[in-house]
Amino acid sequence: MIKEYFTDGLIGLAILLSLFRTDLVGINNLINYPEVQDIILGQSVAYLPASYNHILNSPRAFESSKHLDFNNEAFTAWYQNWNNIPLFRERNENEIEAFLVSSPQLVFDHSPSSSQTAFTIASVENNHVAELSTQNLPEESANDFSGVLNSTSVLNNSSEASAAVSEPVFVDSSVVLLNNPFPGCNLTKEDLDLIDVLWQQDVDLGVGKEVYDPNLRFELEKERENELIKHQEWQKSQLLVKEKAEREKHEQADKWLKEHFRRDGETGEWVRLQNGTSSSFDCPETDDSLTLEAALDFLSSNVDQTFLQNLEAPQESIANTCNGFLDTPFQTVQEEQIQTLLQQPQELLNQQDSLDENWNGIFDYLNNAANVLVEDPTSTLSQLGMDFNASEDLASGLDLGQEDTPQRDFLIQNVTLMQPVINSFIFFVTLFQFVYLEVLQAANEINSTLSSSNLNNSVNFELGSLSFLNSMSTMQSQEDLDIVDVQDLFRDMQGSDEVSLMDSNIAMNESMDAFTVLDDNLSQSVGSLGRISPYNDLNETFDGLEGATGGTNYSASQDNFNGRNSKVSRLSESSNDSGFAYQGGFSSSSSTSSSAGSPAGCHMGGNISTSSNDTEQDPHGTRAVTHHHVAHNHTYNTPPGQIPREVKKYAQKEPSRKGPQSRDQRRAEELKIPFTIDEIIESPVETFNEILMSHKLNEAQLALVRDIRRRGKNKVAAQNCRKRKVGVIVSLSDEMIDLQKARDRLVAERAEMEKETRKIKEKFGGLYTHIFQSLRDERGEPYDPNLYSLQQSSDGNVFLVPRNISVGSKYSNSSSASSSPTSSKDSVSSKKRKSFDE
């Protein structure tokens, strides 16, 4: 009696342990008890559908020696106990023929296609044999799941076993186990004791002990609540500290503003106070250095203010902002308002016809943009400011007609501003970068569509803005970016009071020489302005005849001035090739004399004065400026950060070149050629022939004229050829950079894929081993891995097959194979066949 009781207890315990995937050998050698072995063997038979055939067909199916006697009193008792476990009881109550056992890590998804693990255990027909189909079984899931495998054959003792395959049950186990682990939980003391014993024996129950123990669960929840409260308190304290710091910064900025500016009661403009007098803030051309400083200081300070004040400022219309930045520093910008705002630079540049207005316009735009950006104080400015890729995206998104592109949405992204000063600077850089691209776009339109005469000032302004903004953009590449104070930065960049706005830009560019290797993305962003297609450039750039008039001058009236101009015009190409990105591309001012004093000035002046096409047809030195702009960024020949040699060469001294053209000029004078060299070279064929016909020339004169024309034409052609070559080189260089980036990206992806592959292989190996070791043959012994292997069929099922049989050949159709084994060999194989969910 005692023995029977003890044995029955062991049987029950074995069932439970089996359910929890516990090795009985390790627990008091329980495996040696015949009842336990019976249980295990029976379970192992569950894997072998073929072996059930005779059992299921017999009237006493479960009286087989390999199965539990379901009439066994001990089993009945323990089965009842087992049924007391609420999870199983619930399933039983619901007459579900399949159930799940899982750990909290498992998340069951209702979507069959989901990558999440989904276990289904469906009873098949009436044979009480569970067919386990595992799909995408992860390692950890398999661990939790394997314990269930051994118990599936005994799950259903009901005579009402469903004939139909149950619907797969998808359960979010984490929700079930954590929120409501066992609904209707009524664990008896015995249950808890048993669980406690299992727990103390370090038996993996699949879930935490708290799932079974309400008291423990309560304690854990309480502990969690305490941690949450502590965390909230810490967050509050951090917030208070931050607010305090911002308030101090705000007060400081306010104080600075009141000290340096006063507001004009009539115009509403903010005027900087300087030495007791006020200078108009909106007229930088009257005193460039002064107003620039004022503007920059003002803007920089207000940017900082904006960040601070924004937290508490009322929301107003953006339209007011256009009339005065300080009137309505902070607004709510609606989507359409943002669109309007983003279009302002073009409108401003298109509509305004003076430097003054342009400056005001761009400044207002900056203010507005600042307001837009600070509308959400948590916008991700740092991300934008430091990410040139974002700039590239932005630039591409700023293409006309794409105002709704997602790149503009960055303005309202969320971000945390932890360091006001740094972020202010980042914001400013970002802002300028953004405006810069906008202005580039506007400049491109202006330059390509409008005539030259009434836009000189405007374009001149663009030049300054672009150079300045270019420097600003370049600044982003500094490693010590985060320690740069905004105002100091501006002061450094603007240089001395004597230099003009343009020269300030030059000085800034010089100071930023180390950073003139601009980001490729930016280059690409403006590539459409002229650099992308060198051949297109040539159509605009070289349709003039700079070469014909270049070099040494043919007339005294053109002497030094034009000589220098022509030289500089040539070096304007060089300068474009030498790292001064974007300068030459947008320069078209007719004023050059002011910048001839310094190398940089000459460099800029050269850019301003002409490109090769700008010198066309100007024998009298009037040099009407066309607006075929060259945006080449040919950075070869001159290392980054170095002024091209030609800039120094031609800027510091008078051109003393005595080229062959000078010889031609002299000869033409000697032979009394009655027309100019330019006329000879640049005139069309018909005109040229008419000229020759109209003047009776001797052979020598004709030969000279033809030589001059040939050489002039060829000179221009050579220039074009060289320029084109440079363009090709630059294009190839860019392409190479792109390809290198692509290569790096692919290498990284490949490494990532290999890493993932290794991971998956490891998981697969572990899973394979685990599943294989879980399998038992009819004698309850594990299969020999040398004789058997697990193979997966095309439908996802996993089979245990002898080594010399492949699933593909024998089990390509799992359903047919399982239902009708045809040969003895197949029969044997089918006995080994098991299907798992994976």
Q: Which residues bind DNA (CB under 7 A)?
A: 538, 547, 550-551, 570-571, 573-574, 577, 637-638, 644-646, 648-649, 652-653, 656-661, 663-664, 684-685, 688, 707, 709-722, 724-725
| Shortest spacing between CB 569 and DNA, in angstroms | 9
Nearer to DNA among residue 718 and residue 747 (C-beta): 718
How many CB atoms sit inside 10 A of residue 201's CB? 12
Phi and psi at 277, nearest 5°, equal -115, 165
Euclidean distance between CA atoms 411 and 661, whole angstroms: 57
Look at residue 312 and give its three-state secondary structure.
Answer: coil
Euclidean distance between CA atoms 502 and 507, whole angstroms: 9
Cα 564 to the chain's mean position, in Å?
Answer: 48
Nearer to DNA among residue 163 and residue 700 (C-beta): 700
Tell me if 463 sits within 8 A of 555, measured CB to CB. Answer: no
| Shortest spacing between CB 691 and DNA, in angstroms | 12
Nearer to DNA among residue 354 and residue 714 (C-beta): 714
Residues 6+ apart with CB under 8 A from 744: none
Structure tokens at 756: 């993932």
| Shortest spacing between CB 726 and DNA, in angstroms | 9
Tell me if 679 sits within 8 A of 691, measured CB to CB. Answer: yes
Nearer to DNA among residue 475 and residue 716 (C-beta): 716
| Shortest spacing between CB 675 and DNA, in angstroms | 15
Nearer to DNA among residue 253 and residue 677 (C-beta): 677
Nearer to DNA among residue 2 and residue 685 (C-beta): 685
Nearer to DNA among residue 183 and residue 639 (C-beta): 639
| Shortest spacing between CB 564 and DNA, in angstroms | 12
Residues pairing with 837 in the sheet? 134
Q: How many Cα atoms are found within 13 Å in the side-chain-facing hemisphere of 536?
A: 12
| Shortest spacing between CB 682 and DNA, in angstroms | 10
Nearer to DNA among residue 639 and residue 785 (C-beta): 639
Residues 6+ apart with CB under 8 A from 568: 592, 602, 605, 606, 609, 610, 650, 651
| Shortest spacing between CB 320 and DNA, in angstroms | 52
Which one-letter amino acid corresponds to residue 819?
A: S
Nearer to DNA among residue 197 and residue 732 (C-beta): 732
| Shortest spacing between CB 507 and DNA, in angstroms | 21
Question: Which of 741, 544, 716, 534 is CA-nearest to residue 634?
Answer: 534
Look at residue 160 and give its three-state secondary structure.
Answer: coil
Longest dimension (CA), the chain: 144
DSSP 336: H
Nearer to DNA among residue 652 and residue 794 (C-beta): 652
Tell me if 137 sits within 8 A of 767, measured CB to CB. Answer: yes
Nearer to DNA among residue 206 and residue 712 (C-beta): 712
Look at residue 365 and give its three-state secondary structure.
Answer: helix
Phi and psi at 316, nearest 5°, equal -130, 180
| Shortest spacing between CB 431 and DNA, in angstroms | 36
Euclidean distance between CA atoms 127 and 52, whole angstroms: 7
Phi and psi at 812, nearest 5°, equal -65, -30
| Shortest spacing between CB 359 and DNA, in angstroms | 34
Residues 6+ apart with CB under 8 A from 700: 671
Give the position of tokens 């803030």.
281
Look at residue 107 and give its three-state secondary structure.
Answer: coil
| Shortest spacing between CB 644 and DNA, in angstroms | 7
Give rounded-to-5 percent helix, strand, coil for the chain: 60, 5, 35
| Shortest spacing between CB 449 and DNA, in angstroms | 25
Residues pairing with 799 in the sheet? 791
Nearer to DNA among residue 646 and residue 838 (C-beta): 646
Structure tokens at 824: 């003895």
Euclidean distance between CA atoms 5 and 27, whole angstroms: 19
| Shortest spacing between CB 622 and DNA, in angstroms | 21
| Shortest spacing between CB 533 and DNA, in angstroms | 13
Tell me if 50 sits within 8 A of 67, measured CB to CB. Answer: no
| DSSP per-residue letters across 784-834 | PTTTEEEEE-TTS-EEEEETT--HHHH-SSHHHHHH---SHHHHHHHHH--
| Shortest spacing between CB 684 and DNA, in angstroms | 6
Residue 415 exposed, middle or buried by CB count within 10 Å (0-12, 13-18, 19+): middle
Nearer to DNA among residue 265 and residue 684 (C-beta): 684
Structure tokens at 661: 């053209």
Structure tokens at 795: 């439908």
| Shortest spacing between CB 389 and DNA, in angstroms | 31
| Shortest spacing between CB 467 and DNA, in angstroms | 22
- Taking only Cα atoms into account, the Rg of the chain, rounded to an integer number of angstroms, comes to 42
Residue 545 exposed, middle or buried by CB count within 10 Å (0-12, 13-18, 19+): buried
Nearer to DNA among residue 417 and residue 716 (C-beta): 716
Nearer to DNA among residue 59 and residue 684 (C-beta): 684
Nearer to DNA among residue 102 and residue 516 (C-beta): 516
Question: Which of 621, 617, 512, 500 is CA-nearest to residue 560?
Answer: 621
Nearer to DNA among residue 284 and residue 712 (C-beta): 712
| Shortest spacing between CB 728 and DNA, in angstroms | 8
Nearer to DNA among residue 109 and residue 543 (C-beta): 543
**Sheet with strand 270-274: strands edge to edge:** 261-263, 270-274, 277-279
Which one-letter amino acid corresponds to residue 760?
A: I
Residue 353 exposed, middle or buried by CB count within 10 Å (0-12, 13-18, 19+): middle
Q: How long a stretch of residues is the chain?
A: 838
